[in-house]
Structure 1
Amino acid sequence: MLTRDDVLAARERTAGRVRRTPLLQVGGSGWLKLEFLQHTGSFKARGAFNRQLAAAERGELDPAVGVVTASGGNAGMAHAFAARSIGVPATVFVPETTPAVKVDRLHAYGADVRLGGSEYAEAYAAAVAFAEAAGAVFCHAYDQPEIAAGAGVLAEELLDDLPATDTVIVAVGGGGLLAGVLAAVDGRARVVAVEPVTAPTLAAALAAGEPVDVEVSGVAKDSLGARRLGSIAWDVARRSPGLVSVLVEDAAVVAARAELWSEARVASEHGAATAYAALTSGAYVPAPGERVVTVVCGANTDPVTLAAEPAER
């Protein structure tokens, strides 16, 4: 069971290793938590450091073997960065379809990058097998308590900076960020979980009464492309009666991303813009005076695809 105590322990453990990201007010009652300013460009660095440092504390982290994960995206980069910072090797299994630019970034962070089949499930299986054979610490992309607890530290920060926060809005993929934020908030604010209609893992789980596989597609599938909500996220979500789940169309995500750039000069990836799309599309309408913080969780995106600046401002 993930609790706020786990998040507070993660905050202490990762102090000095991760950045404290700021809040930016964007309206009369709205703020952005600028988590895209975190190391490697996403919130994932928080969980990566917490997982690896906790393993080291328990004597599980062999300095000669290090850690292993399966991810060609934000999680892989975060674990490679954390491992390099701690001084241990990182092996990252990626699908053969992973774009070269992401593989290059993994190499830049010092990872030993290995191909693990044609899709994520095969890369995941290869990473698990490597962990068992080599004795490396396996680091899940989202469904481990220390990963989720690390992510939750950002909610502790935002509530320190804005104690009167009424609502925190987050995007959901596998649910590590959602689980951490729910545990950290612990009833002190409402949490709104936002998903594209093309990747509805939480909404499907709530409808079925348990996590179920969903078809995944759409503009945000590179970062919100988990096919099933993680077990930790499900456990925390079903114990959070105030949780609000909303869905947004891909077109709303694209529009929200463009607005973040044109109005605030925030270069968001589509997955991070999904949270903001709840507001811009009207999927979630705050009450008058409601103080809302939207977590912009990542910016690993191609800046060429951002909307052009309006001719007049």
Structure 2
Amino acid sequence: MINREDVEAAARRIDGRIRRTPLVEAEPGRWFKLEYLQHAGSFKTRGMMNKMLSSAIPEAGVVVASGGNAGLAAAYAARELGVPAEVFVPVTAPAVKVAKLGKLGAKVVQVGNEYAEAYAAALERTDALFCHAYDDPAMVAGNGTLALEISEISDTVLVAVGGGGLVAGVIAALRGRARIVAVEPVTSCALHEALKAEKPVDVRVSGVAADSLGARRVGDIAFELATDAEIDSILVDDDAIIHARRKLWDDYRIVVEHGTAAAYAALISGAYRPAPGERVTTLLCGANTNPADLG
């Protein structure tokens, strides 16, 4: 099982290649980890960089299936390391993410309407290093490095969850040191349903955050860690997510994806109610979005 030592090793490996993103106190006891300022716009760059630096990469380079952010992270890491990258995304992937993939130099292949279909197509590429978007030990350990940067001020960490690659890393880094709360949309809740069923299960995926949190099944690593650590799991609806994203813009001029806003939605909707004096850190983990509707 991945633990803090794995995360610390990843932090040493990727040091100097990722940004140590800002941590700001938005109001007394309420912190934001501004991970959306990471290279390529999300926490996944940490995981992808760790994966590639700890792997033997063939001449064909790397291949990844993604709703968008994992692909951007892989494209960025591959460009920095000088290897080819091919990214499979569903045809429903936001245009802003697809365009950015091209700018980062990746070959983009659009297949199917959901991540699961793009994933199946990517697996057919057997000559390249397959980099799983979330269910990979090196990815999880790399993702968890952001948690090392908040451990001293966090009693509770709110984490938006799709496939579980981020929450797994946070658990590995902070279990026994902070309360970890997984937050998912009602319409895309693979971890929540897995915890209820006591095993990973397929779920239907829809809603405003499906492009980044729309994993049909939670990763085995995340399920194992979440079950063993007995973390909290809560749900928020689309209205709460939309309101949270708008409020981040209105109050702080922070532009994030709907998936990212899910974590903040738990706090401002009352789905999660902190105790008096509890220090809560919300991970704002990705910003690859079209801000046109925030004007």
Same fold (TM over 0.5): yes
Cα displacement string for residues 20-51 of structure 1 (whole angstroms, at most 9, x for unaligned residues): 01111111110000000001111110101011
Given the alignment, which residue of 247, 251, 257 partners 1:263? Answer: 251
Q: Which residue of 1 aligns with 2:208?
A: 219
Q: Is the 8 A contact 1:147 1:176 kept in 2?
A: yes
Q: Which residue of 2 aligns with 1:31?
A: 31
Cα distance, 1:83–1:169 mapped onto 2, change above 3 Å? same
Counterparts of 2:57 and 2:38, CA distance in 1: 24
Q: Is the 8 A contact 2:96 2:290 kept in 1?
A: no
Counterparts of 1:254 and 1:99, CA distance in 2: 17
Q: Is the 8 A contact 1:172 1:195 kept in 2?
A: yes
Counterparts of 1:105 and 1:283, CA distance in 2: 34
Figure out how many residues of one structure are paired with residues of the other and give that number: 295
Deviation at residue 165 of structure 1 after TM alignment? 1.7
Q: Is the 8 A contact 2:97 2:289 kept in 1?
A: no
Counterparts of 1:278 and 1:23, CA distance in 2: 19
Cα displacement string for residues 192-223 of structure 1 (whole angstroms, at most 9, x for unaligned residues): 11011111111111111111111111110010
Given the alignment, which residue of 276, 281, 290 partners 1:288? Answer: 276
Q: Is the 8 A contact 1:183 1:236 kept in 2?
A: yes
Q: Which residue of 2 aligns with 1:61?
A: 57
Deviation at residue 100 of structure 1 after TM alignment? 4.1
Q: Is the 8 A contact 2:48 2:77 kept in 1?
A: yes
Q: Counterpart amino acid of 1:111?
A: A
Counterparts of 1:145 and 1:288, CA distance in 2: 36
Q: Counterpart amino acid of 1:86?
A: L
Cα displacement string for residues 254-293 of structure 1 (whole angstroms, at most 9, x for unaligned residues): 1111111111111111000000011100000000000110
Given the alignment, which residue of 168, 171, 194 partners 1:179? Answer: 168
Structure 2 gap ranges (5+): none
Counterparts of 1:127 and 1:9, CA distance in 2: 29
Cα displacement string for residues 77-136 of structure 1 (whole angstroms, at most 9, x for unaligned residues): 110010000010101122344444432211110101224345433321221111x2x2x1
Structural mapping, 1:70-85, within 5 Å: 70-85=65-80
Cα displacement string for residues 121-152 of structure 1 (whole angstroms, at most 9, x for unaligned residues): 3321221111x2x2x11001111011111110
Counterparts of 1:177 and 1:227, CA distance in 2: 16
Q: Is the 8 A contact 1:92 1:113 kept in 2?
A: yes
Deviation at residue 244 of structure 1 after TM alignment? 1.1
Q: Which residue of 2 aligns with 1:204?
A: 193
Q: Counterpart amino acid of 2:78?
A: A
Deviation at residue 186 of structure 1 after TM alignment? 2.2
1:155 aligns with 2:151: no
Percent sequence identity is 59
Given the alignment, which residue of 145, 164, 174 partners 2:137? Answer: 145
Q: Is the 8 A contact 1:24 1:31 kept in 2?
A: yes
Q: Which residue of 2 aligns with 1:47?
A: 47
Given the alignment, which residue of 105, 119, 128 partners 1:124? Answer: 119
Cα distance, 1:72–1:249 mapped onto 2, change above 3 Å? closer
Q: Is the 8 A contact 1:72 1:103 kept in 2?
A: no
- TM-score for the superposition, normalised by structure 1: 0.91
Cα distance, 1:118–1:253 mapped onto 2, change above 3 Å? closer
Q: Counterpart amino acid of 2:253?
A: R
1:250 aligns with 2:238: yes
Q: Counterpart amino acid of 1:150?
A: G
- TM-score for the superposition, normalised by structure 2: 0.97
Deviation at residue 247 of structure 1 after TM alignment? 0.7
Counterparts of 1:305 and 1:103, CA distance in 2: 19
Q: Counterpart amino acid of 2:69?
A: N
Counterparts of 1:256 and 1:203, CA distance in 2: 21
Q: Is the 8 A contact 2:68 2:94 kept in 1?
A: no
RMSD: 1.3
1:18 aligns with 2:18: yes
SS state of the match for residue 78, structure 2?
helix
SS state of the match for residue 92, structure 1?
strand
Cα distance, 1:119–1:204 mapped onto 2, change above 3 Å? closer
SS state of the match for residue 129, structure 1?
coil
Please identify the structure whose Cα radius of gyration is greater. Answer: 1
